[in-house]
Chain A
Amino acid sequence: ETGVTQSPTHLIKTRGQQVTLRCSSQSGHNTVSWYQQALGQGPQFIFQYYREEENGRGNFPPRFSGLQFPNYSSELNVNALELDDSALYLCASSLAETGGFETQYFGPGTRLLVL
């Protein structure tokens, strides 16, 4: 068990709607990263949060946004959903350390289907 939990496990939305996905990080971790995994692909980095601030962003449009809370849990929000947003969304938590020698531990993911 990694200790990272995500909710919900599955979600069906229609094009144009908005969705919020949630993640609780592993105990003792202070950094949360979000990834999108399309079918047959490796996970793609969306963004990372450290101490409640965005700390790096991948090649995703601004309609993908996030939050990190004081307890280090996090939300991923996607506005104006498109069909291509259908994917498994993964949350990973880690402990930021000097030198960057971090290991990210993944949650089970939320599978989003956009119709």
Chain B
Amino acid sequence: AQSVSQHNHHVILSEAASLELGCNYSYGGTVNLFWYVQYPGQHLQLLLKYFSGDPLVKGIKGFEAEFIKSKFSFNLRKPSVQWSDTAEYFCAVTVTGGGNKLTFGTGTQLKVEL
């Protein structure tokens, strides 16, 4: 069965700092990769997704992620964070042929300080 690891559980940054959140998955086959965000008091929202093609994907609000197949990684990046990026970030994977069941990591709580 596939699994997802998010190594940073809590991250605190100052506004304008750069962000990189780690995500690694374990599965030997073809995967689809997602980052979801949960702002305080709001529901899970899709930030970006990778199905195939260019391994560098761009999402909403200036976020991007790079799929590195050899490293089984899909790290999330943003060059300059804002206070409004304070939220919990979840990496998730589905397995092609696996019924589109999302397997989530445990999440990274990001706090951006003014």
A residues whose Cβ falls under 8 Å from a Cβ of B:
2, 4, 31, 33, 35, 40-45, 48, 55-56, 58, 90, 92, 94, 96, 99-109
5 shortest A-B CB distances, which residue pairs? A42-B104, A56-B99, A106-B44, A108-B43, A45-B101
Is there contact, CB below 8 Å, between B97 and A100?
A: yes
Distance (whole angstroms) from the CB of A109 to the closest CB of chain B: 6
B residues whose Cβ falls under 8 Å from a Cβ of A:
4, 32, 34, 36, 42-46, 49, 51, 90, 92, 94, 96-107
Q: Total A-B pairs in contact (CB under 8 Å)? A: 67
Given contacts A42-B90, A103-B49, are A2 and B43 in contact (CB under 8 A)? Answer: yes
Is there contact, CB below 8 Å, between A43 and B96?
A: no
Distance (whole angstroms) from the CB of A102 to the closest CB of chain B: 5
Given contacts A41-B106, A102-B94, are A2 and B45 in contact (CB under 8 A)? Answer: yes
CB-CB < 8 A to B51: which residues of A?
Answer: 101
Expressed in whole angstroms, the Cα–Cα distance for A108 and B43 within the complex equals: 5
- What are 16 A-B pairs at a CB distance below 8 A? A2-B45, A33-B101, A40-B107, A41-B106, A42-B92, A42-B106, A42-B107, A43-B90, A48-B101, A56-B99, A96-B100, A100-B32, A100-B98, A104-B100, A106-B45, A109-B43
Expressed in whole angstroms, the Cα–Cα distance for A77 and B17 within the complex equals: 45
CB-CB < 8 A to A107: which residues of B?
Answer: 43
CB-CB < 8 A to A42: which residues of B?
Answer: 4, 90, 92, 104-107
Is there contact, CB below 8 Å, between A101 and B32?
A: yes
Distance (whole angstroms) from the CB of B55 to the closest CB of chain A: 16
